[in-house]
Structure 1
Amino acid sequence: MKKVLKITGIILGSIALLLLLAYLFFTVKWHRESSANMDLLGEEAPTLTYEGHTYRDLNKNGELDVYEDSRADIEYRITNLISQMNQEEKSGLLFIHMLMMEEDGELSEIPSLGNPFSMMLETASSMVAKKKMTHFNIMETPTALATAKWNNKLQKMAERNRLGIPVTIATDPRHGKGFNVGTSVGTRFFSRWPSPLGMGATRDTNLVREFGDIGRQEYVALGLRVALHPMADLATEPRWARNKGTFSEDAHLAAKLTKAYVLGFQGDSLGKKSVACMTKHFSGGGPQEGGLDAHFASGKGQVYPGNNFDYHLIPFTEGAFEANTAQIMPYYGIPIGQTSEDVGFSYNKDIITGLLRDSLGFDGVVCTDWAIVTDMPVKDASAWGVEQLSEKERVKKILDAGCDMMGGESRTDLVLELLKEGAISEDRIDSSLRRILRDKFRLGLFENPYVDEENLDIVGNPGFVEKGKEAQRKALVLLKNENNILPLSNDKKIYIEGMGEGLEDKFPQIVSNIADADVVIQKLETPFSPPTGESFLERFIHQGRLDFEEKEKNKILKLANTKPTITVLAMERPPVVPDINAASKAVIADFECEDEIILELIFGKFNPSGKLPIEIPSSMEAVENQKEDVPYDSKNPLYPFGHGLSFD
């Protein structure tokens, strides 16, 4: 036995040593690559004065170029800048990819063993200095100060490129509950708000616009200038993983809230204090076949059994476009049978040029969803309908379709090859550059892309936090209140299950032993199916079943039958819970609200006013029989769209 242990120890030690040596080898390699990239950069841009006008000499030629002159017409500035750009610089502007930062706000140049994502992504110097990219979306942020420092360091690196074109930083939603790979990045130092579905429950356009304005201020303070949201999709398919990111299954409600949201972030027109919205996912990503998400091959099809394609356009035509959204993102899926060829939205010329550009007159930036050309470590390329094409052919088809930018990609080499071969004309690239640069100029990035690291108090300030709490209170929906069990009187003892810790300080009614409780409060997350594919990302995408497995349901019912029970449904998607509903004395629909706010409702600190933005189906059979593209059409829903009680 000792001999076996000794041999095992030697083997494990050898493996550890080999891994350490490999990491040291790559660390040296990464340092050399970073140093080589940095050598490509020039001097910082000096600030000069010409005839009383101060400007940043971005191309360092000692002269005031038109594109550097804030007094000049934006279209002239764009023309002047494009005329000075080489093909490498032009190609770099067509891509946006993810970047990491270090805990202290330093640029992430050396991948870390402690952060697997840093191993998967290129470094800032590789993309900025070498590939001339100037668009990035940021992942998790340690602190407000670190984020501000990181923005300034990244902008300084971009300034040292030949033409000094500033970087545009984009972000997924940050004001919600938590981190979900590829969809949202809950940020603890921002104000906390309900999910978009919860905003739909408020029905309050003024509140949603106010959220947009608060989100804008928090973003701008840190240098985040493009919102990869809102989602104007409709939650007409209850199994779809991304229901919580929508406002509703009702197109007209979603349109009103989408418009308010965009106006909050952008203002009445895009300017130096705005955040540009990249509204998604054109032409409506909700009607996923069988509810399976289009990130993955299993969900590549969007279907319209109710012939309801135009219904999904309403949040765009009556919402996003009326608010002049700056940018649009199509989804991954194939609109089956709706166009002349069954290919994904971003590859589909009928959708991008025919519908979006020509019919609807949209002349802003169109950016593809992430990784539809090349495989990523977390998922294969979502090149639906064009799987047989090479990566270079995919890029050509995206540009031919009418898209301007490619998300989650950094394959500038493919564009350069297409230009060299004459497969794509430089004029075609220039037309996309005009739209892309127009937003950079409107946002004022050429004048000043830096943020004040000493003035970050606006981020997550008490006023914003309180507004977020107000929205959470308005978002909660009281579904059932048998015999007016709610609100509870303050002398009632409660036992909580499924809620966070630390609530006892504010609610001394909480007891640790269920036998001492008068009432049980259980919070339930929406069930989901296990992943069917091998993609790492699929483990984070909750889709499929909406009902609890029998063993889990029996456990929930057993708890509900011990004492009078209040059930809180965390509405990531609408759960199928007829038995649990029947066993509960009261039921509350929660849309990523803080547990403290939920308990405030239960003890009557405020009167619930939310109304369901989606229906809650009565059975999985009803879910399977409803049509993916049609709203509120499941048979005999447990709770219909618009349901919501109050204490009055």
Structure 2
Amino acid sequence: MKDTQLHELLQQMTTNEKAEQMSQVVSMLVQSHSETGKITGPIAAMDVAKEDMSKSGSILGASGAKTLKQIQKNYMERHRLNIPLLFMADVIHGYKTVFPVPLALGCSWDLSAVEKSAEIAAKEASAAGLHVTFSPMADLVRDPRWGRVMESTGEDPYLNSEFARAFVRGYQGEDLEQDTDRIAACVKHFAAYGASEGGRDYNTVDMSERQLREYYMPAYEAALEEGAEMVMTAFNTVDGIPATSNRHLMRTVLRNELKFNGVLISDWGAVQETVPHGVAANNREAALKSALAGVDIDMMTPCYKQHLTSLVDSGELSEAVLDEAVLRILQLKQKLGLFDHPYRGADEKREEQLILSDEHRTKARELAAKSSVLLKNDGVLPLNTTQRVALIGPFTDSTDLLGRWAIFGEPADVVTLKTGLTKQLTAVETAAGCDIESITDAQISEARKTADNADVIILALGEPSELSGEAGSKTDIRLSEAQMHLVRSMRELNKPIITILFNGRPLDLRGILDESDAIIEAWFPGTEGGHAVADLLTGAANPSGKLTMSFPYTVGQIPVYYNAFKTGRPKEDLDPNDRYASKYMDAPNEPLFPFGFGLSYSEFTYGDARLSSNDLQPGGSLELSVDVKNTSGITGEETVQMYIRDLVGEVVRPVLELKGFEKIRLEPGEAKIVTFSIHEDLLKYHHHDLAYKADSGDFIASVGTDSQTLQHLRFSYKTHSSVTETVLEERYT
């Protein structure tokens, strides 16, 4: 169908039919059938079930080729203009073959592998009849109390941007219409949802526009530059206005500045939630304000369906607003080829062939190993396969390894840690030791008896998936007292302890770190988690993951992140005994584990870093190089990280900013020269007036293995006018 035909189709639609295209509900509200779809938000509170939503233009949560083909057929037969449905769902980190949660994927620092995971997710989802995924989540996160940190790739705007691009490329490919193995990406949550106050979901966000643009916007913008077809609004406020009804944010910033002309959809119920937010008196006003803000699709509320027609009839809302929204929706359906092929991609036979195929499982296993982070190793890893192992803990044989947002993943398909280990070790005995939140004397007794016969104890600990994800906010991010008691009890046996952590957020690991000889942060590793962790334990895989979100020493430090500002009284510049410094009296300022940290079984040695010049000229570049050598007998991968610091800015600049990285593979004894190019664009930042530019002055370029283990080199950059000259010019003009 050509654009002219879309415009003709639009002209044939009634105002009510346009309102229906702009509404989205779960499948059971469009067609009565046994499959209700996955429910990922409230229904009763929205009153959406009381309205006739059967002709809504898109549905979410349903899947399966046979089911969706039947829904599409029935829908088009009763739709006057035969406009096809859009099928959308939360395919966040895999469809049926579930990969590690996005926070873990970020820790792989492997863009090509993450792009491949999104491609595999798209293949499976498309064969199951889906057209759109609500991914990637590009929210920058700094507060592990917020359960949804598991959906982000971390605390750094540059790294999040690179991963957002990789996800979009993997989902969408190069031609959505021709490549039916791909699905459209919807970047979320616009904007700054990761900054919810107190780490509490759906809560207020309050920040300066400069901070918003400097740290929170880059990853969204990167996803849009990569061609993401959709954007989802955030639940939070931005500058005192809920994002979903924020005209400045959506019209001025998203549409005009970022040039986004795709479909903008609300998050679940967010249009109606402008009423309890206090910016709309009722559903009618909520519909009006959200439509004026440019929200094209109202997800899971009756606001648009109930009120858009009467708002147009009364003259309060121009029908042109509906026309531009509906045209964008029709254009997306056209881009997906749905007018010519309404059953696009849905194929029962292909679904059966693709889903959980050996190839997909192999990729999931490899990426789960790459995403895990070795936090500590006092020489006990890797294991010898002949060692007698006691595998103890509530995650010993648990299938709860998928994470909260793997809504289509099946526990029955999960490889547990017990299964993975028993395939690789000759002697494994298991005991529960405790439950997630409780422990009994009998469990301790059984665990001790099991451990008595072992050479080494592996503790499988963590948080259940229900304690993270959406609505999974917590004030206490330690493991339960039951699990802590188990650790202390096992320590009394004076045997090596290896702790495996399964969780969706950074944790307070005091009491775990000191009592463990080795710790692997496995996150929620997905379908092949048990195999992947066993590979790491035995040395079949060499740990290479590095943290993309700092682990706090204690919850009282939060938010704690590597790219913070230096204060006027920095602790490190003053006498340690000086009370009047920016510091805690009962804890260090630094996190327990910093951004970029992660160990390996290999040993990597960095030579002296060097700059090609100490002066960077406008329009030019200089090179930062370092020799990295594998001085061990084990092949391994190392992520070399490059940071820059602006020593004097017009506004305060962070102590470090990641500006480049390269993941290299080195054989035993092999060395490589890693080189980064530094140019003016890497020095730019948003000034007080939001101008995005670089200043003259001195900078520090740093390179190393993590954000705390670095070599520092100084260089200068001079623009045509310095910061001082610019300030004086502004002052006296």
TM-score, with length taken from structure 1 = 0.75
Deviates more, 1:410-419 or 1:232-241: 410-419
Structure 1 residue 359 displacement after superposition: 1.6
Q: Distance in 2 between matches of 1:174 and 1:312?
A: 20
Partner secondary structure for residue 224 of structure 1:
coil
CA contact (8 A) 1:328 1:366 kept: yes
Aligned match of 1:487 in 364, 367, 382?
Answer: 382
The residue number in structure 2 matching 1:515 is 452
> What do residues 475-524 of structure 1 show as CA deviations (whole Å, max 9, x unaligned)?
11111101x11001011122221324352652442213222222222233
Q: Which amino acid aligns with 2:457?
A: V
The residue number in structure 1 matching 2:199 is 291
Aligned match of 2:249 in 324, 331, 351?
Answer: 351
The 5-angstrom pairing of residues 580-595 of structure 1 reads 580-593=512-525, 594-595=529-530
User: Aligned in 2, Cα 1:500/1:108: closer, same or farther, shift over 3 Å?
Assistant: farther
CA contact (8 A) 1:88 1:131 kept: no
Q: Which runs of no fewer than 5 residues in structure 1 stay unpaired?
A: 1-69, 142-146, 177-186, 375-380, 532-536
User: Aligned in 2, Cα 1:119/1:480: closer, same or farther, shift over 3 Å?
Assistant: closer
The residue number in structure 1 matching 2:538 is 603
CA contact (8 A) 1:236 1:629 kept: no
Partner secondary structure for residue 219 of structure 2:
helix
1:369 paired with 2:267, answer: yes
The residue number in structure 1 matching 2:76 is 159
The 5-angstrom pairing of residues 314-329 of structure 1 reads 314-317=218-221, 319-329=222-232
Structure 1 residue 155 displacement after superposition: 0.5
User: Aligned in 2, Cα 1:308/1:328: closer, same or farther, shift over 3 Å?
Assistant: closer
Q: Distance in 1 between matches of 2:460 and 2:365?
A: 19
Q: Distance in 2 between matches of 1:224 and 1:367?
A: 17
The residue number in structure 1 matching 2:287 is 395
Q: Distance in 1 between matches of 2:280 and 2:34?
A: 35
The residue number in structure 1 matching 2:367 is 471
CA contact (8 A) 1:95 1:407 kept: yes
User: Aligned in 2, Cα 1:371/1:123: closer, same or farther, shift over 3 Å?
Assistant: closer
TM-score, with length taken from structure 2 = 0.67
> What do residues 558-606 of structure 1 show as CA deviations (whole Å, max 9, x unaligned)?
2344332111222411100122101100011113221231122111111
1:138 paired with 2:61, answer: yes
Q: Distance in 2 between matches of 1:632 and 1:195?
A: 32
Q: Which amino acid aligns with 2:268?
A: W
Q: Which amino acid aligns with 2:269?
A: A
Q: Runs of at least 4 residues of structure 1 off by over 6 A?
A: 115-119, 121-127, 527-531, 631-634
Deviates more, 1:576-585 or 1:561-570: 561-570
Q: Distance in 2 between matches of 1:421 and 1:308?
A: 37
Q: Distance in 1 between matches of 2:427 and 2:28?
A: 43
Structure 1 residue 122 displacement after superposition: 11
The 5-angstrom pairing of residues 557-576 of structure 1 reads 557-562=488-493, 563-576=495-508
Greater percentage in strand: 2
Structure 1 residue 383 displacement after superposition: 4.6
Q: Which amino acid aligns with 1:137?
A: L
Q: Distance in 1 between matches of 2:480 and 2:111?
A: 38
1:408 paired with 2:292, answer: no
1:202 paired with 2:119, answer: no
Partner secondary structure for residue 24 of structure 2:
strand
User: RCO (CA 8 Å, sep 6+): is it higher in 1 or 2?
Assistant: 1
Partner secondary structure for residue 455 of structure 1:
helix
Q: Distance in 2 between matches of 1:122 and 1:308?
A: 30
Q: Which runs of no fewer than 5 residues in structure 2 stay unpaired?
A: 398-417, 431-449, 568-587, 603-733
Q: Which amino acid aligns with 2:68?
A: N
> What do residues 42-74 of structure 1 show as CA deviations (whole Å, max 9, x unaligned)?
xxxxxxxxxxxxxxxxxxxxxxxxxxxx4xx3x
CA contact (8 A) 1:494 1:521 kept: yes
CA contact (8 A) 1:148 1:223 kept: yes
Aligned match of 2:487 in 549, 556, 559?
Answer: 556
Q: Distance in 1 between matches of 2:42 and 2:594?
A: 45
> What do residues 117-160 of structure 1 show as CA deviations (whole Å, max 9, x unaligned)?
99969999998x86421201115x5xxxxx11111111011211
Structure 1 residue 211 displacement after superposition: 1.5
User: Aligned in 2, Cα 1:118/1:574: closer, same or farther, shift over 3 Å?
Assistant: closer
CA contact (8 A) 1:372 1:383 kept: no
Structure 1 residue 473 displacement after superposition: 1.4
The residue number in structure 1 matching 2:673 is none
The residue number in structure 2 matching 1:31 is none
Partner secondary structure for residue 210 of structure 1:
helix
Structure 1 residue 434 displacement after superposition: 1.1
Count of residue pairs brought into register by the alignment:
527
Percent identity over the alignment is 27
The residue number in structure 1 matching 2:347 is 452
The 5-angstrom pairing of residues 97-246 of structure 1 reads 97-100=25-28, 108-109=32-33, 131-139=54-62, 147-160=64-77, 161-173=79-91, 175=93, 190-246=96-152
CA contact (8 A) 2:65 2:128 kept: yes
CA contact (8 A) 1:100 1:107 kept: yes
Q: CA RMSD in A?
A: 3.3
Partner secondary structure for residue 480 of structure 1:
strand
Q: Which amino acid aligns with 1:413?
A: Q
Q: Distance in 2 between matches of 1:417 and 1:250?
A: 45
> What do residues 73-99 of structure 1 show as CA deviations (whole Å, max 9, x unaligned)?
3x2121011011112211111111222
Q: Which amino acid aligns with 1:94?
A: M
Structure 1 residue 553 displacement after superposition: 2.8
User: Aligned in 2, Cα 1:529/1:174: closer, same or farther, shift over 3 Å?
Assistant: closer
Aligned match of 1:280 in 144, 166, 188?
Answer: 188
Q: Distance in 2 between matches of 1:364 and 1:408?
A: 20
> What do residues 4-37 of structure 1 show as CA deviations (whole Å, max 9, x unaligned)?
xxxxxxxxxxxxxxxxxxxxxxxxxxxxxxxxxx
CA contact (8 A) 1:201 1:475 kept: yes
Structure 1 residue 311 displacement after superposition: 1.0
Partner secondary structure for residue 225 of structure 2:
coil
Q: Distance in 1 between matches of 2:372 and 2:386?
A: 23
The residue number in structure 1 matching 2:679 is none
Structure 1 residue 229 displacement after superposition: 0.7
Q: Distance in 1 between matches of 2:330 and 2:465?
A: 42
1:545 paired with 2:451, answer: no
Q: Distance in 2 between matches of 1:111 and 1:206?
A: 35
> What do residues 176-217 of structure 1 show as CA deviations (whole Å, max 9, x unaligned)?
5xxxxxxxxxx5xx2231111111111111111112221121
The 5-angstrom pairing of residues 420-431 of structure 1 reads 420-431=313-324
Q: Which amino acid aligns with 2:452?
A: A
Q: Which amino acid aligns with 2:484?
A: K
User: Aligned in 2, Cα 1:206/1:475: closer, same or farther, shift over 3 Å?
Assistant: same
Q: Distance in 1 between matches of 2:355 and 2:480?
A: 42
Partner secondary structure for residue 354 of structure 2:
coil
Structure 1 residue 419 displacement after superposition: 2.1
User: Aligned in 2, Cα 1:491/1:464: closer, same or farther, shift over 3 Å?
Assistant: same
Q: Distance in 2 between matches of 1:578 and 1:117?
A: 35
CA contact (8 A) 1:304 1:628 kept: no
The residue number in structure 2 matching 1:8 is none
Greater percentage in helix: 1
CA contact (8 A) 2:101 2:150 kept: yes
Structure 1 residue 356 displacement after superposition: 0.8
Partner secondary structure for residue 428 of structure 2:
coil
The residue number in structure 2 matching 1:78 is 6
Q: Distance in 1 between matches of 2:170 and 2:385?
A: 39
User: Aligned in 2, Cα 1:117/1:526: closer, same or farther, shift over 3 Å?
Assistant: closer
Partner secondary structure for residue 513 of structure 2:
helix
